[in-house]
A and B are shown apart, each in its own frame.
Chain A
């Protein structure tokens, strides 16, 4: 479903991604972990071309983007349609209700009939448990509810891949569960997902594959068990130790 080849990204002189290779099968949930500054968020943003990679190729479901030369706008737009993004800070449209947020993509971009888009948006919001909150504005919702609207908004475009950028990092601890639950259901339904997260329990419970990134490279990859219980690389061990220690303080 996703084939990434030798992906590079630099901001000026700073090389953030130093050649990423990755294949994700259809229906797989891949979780990316790693210390801050390791390039994991940049990596995810490259998959939606929110950052333009400096070199390399990405193919999602046969749609290929080659970043060795500048891409025409049309191709970027076409490529973006393959995936949808869920942001750390939700980035809901504050001037639209939850329902309007979810309808916006289908109506404005896909030109789907309003009534049809509305029915679909209602269905999606019901699915993420927000049937009662459809006509509320984002400021009237809790963080967890806003993020679930964010997920519904992404799903409304029927993407082939869902990208999650630290979707629970901005949430109060008691609200994390409701968002992870929705994500877990998605994974179980067979959605192809790439998730950048600090939620190790989610990684252990839901991921088919875990990537550990550091300094712009994928240092180690494997099943959750391989990464968490039998890490091979020294840096992976250090990182996991730090996280576990933080948990026991």
Chain B
């Protein structure tokens, strides 16, 4: 396609919107009528998928981080292998294995379940590095002070180390969370009718790909924008015990 030709198409698209009232009306109609199905996809799948996977992922990540910094070699190695595999393979490949691959060995997962597994494992691996770094950033003296007032390892972790580590990890974990919101669109590939798949389905019916995909994109953007506001609030809350100087 020549450059001239492409420009010509773009011009035609815009012209058709602004000069042809019927065309504009059709687009507005479709935008309006697809808004609710898209939102429904978000509420039914995108948001639950994100929240559940992130929660499970965080637990997994904390355990993995603790395994990485433990003195038991076996735990260290298991954690390293897990992180290496998940970070070293594409999420789309992981989801495909879970949903399309596992039935071969007799394990059949529902689309939503497979997606939860995939995203949780993914968050677990990426966030474990964040949490590990955050735990290691807490001065050794904090462990010692906890020990010297008689705390066990788990008490020290729960009361002293993790509360401080969570402050440090809010910005990088927010990154992980926001990435996850967008990554859930990959679940469309394993038949979860989340927001992006809804957009695909509607567009396949009326051929307004640009409109539908832009609309879905806009909704993702709005979600992520709201999340960044939440991040700001969390940071403020956790910064109350840190010198502003």
Interface residues of A (CB under 8 A from B): 48, 50, 73, 77, 80-81, 84-85, 87, 89, 91-96, 104-105, 108-110, 137-139, 153-154, 157
Contacts and interface: CB of A to CB of B under 8 A. Distances in A.
Interface residues of B, number: 21
A5 B152 CA distance: 27
A114 to B, nearest CB: 14
Given A48-B148, A139-B242, A108 B155 contact: yes
A93 B142 contact: yes
Interface in B157-202: 159-160, 163-164, 167
B89 interface: no
Contacts of A48: 147-148
A95 B164 contact: yes
B242 to A, nearest CB: 6
B151 A95 contact: no
A122 to B, nearest CB: 18
Nearest to A76: B147
Given A80-B150, A84-B148, 14 more contacts: A48-B148, A50-B148, A80-B147, A84-B149, A85-B148, A87-B144, A87-B145, A93-B142, A95-B241, A105-B149, A109-B151, A138-B241, A139-B242, A157-B149
A104 B142 CA distance: 13
Nearest to A48: B148
A91 B145 contact: yes
Nearest to A136: B241
B242 A93 contact: no
B150 A91 contact: no
B141 interface: yes
Contacts of B160: 93
Contacts of A105: 149-151
B5 interface: no
A80 B8 CA distance: 81
16 contacts: A50-B144, A73-B152, A87-B141, A91-B145, A104-B149, A105-B149, A105-B151, A108-B151, A108-B155, A109-B149, A137-B240, A137-B241, A139-B241, A139-B242, A139-B243, A157-B149
A188 B145 CA distance: 26
Interface of B: 139, 141-142, 144-145, 147-152, 155, 159-160, 163-164, 167, 240-243
Contact of B148 (A73, A80, A92, A93): A80
Contacts of A87: 141, 144-145
B145 A92 contact: yes
Contacts of A154: 148-149
B14 to A, nearest CB: 55
Nearest to B140: A91
Q: Which of B139, B147, B167 has the most CB of A within 10 A?
A: B147
Contacts of A108: 151, 155, 159
A94 B148 contact: no
B141 A157 contact: no
For the complex of A and B, 3 pairs with smallest distance between CB atoms: A105-B149, A91-B145, A91-B141
Contacts of B164: 93-95
Contacts of B242: 94, 139
Q: Which of A50, A96, A108, A154 has the most CB of B within 10 A?
A: A108
Contacts of A138: 241
A91 B144 contact: yes
B150 A109 contact: yes
A91 B139 CA distance: 9
A77 B144 contact: no
Q: Which of B145, B164, B167, B243 has the most CB of A within 10 A?
A: B145
Given A95-B164, A139-B241, A157 B145 contact: no
A92 B167 CA distance: 17
B141 A104 contact: no
Contacts of B148: 48, 50, 80, 84-85, 154
B241 A77 contact: no
A148 B67 CA distance: 37
Q: Which of A77, A84, A94 has the most CB of B within 10 A?
A: A94
B150 A77 contact: yes
Contacts of B163: 95
Contacts of A109: 149-151, 155
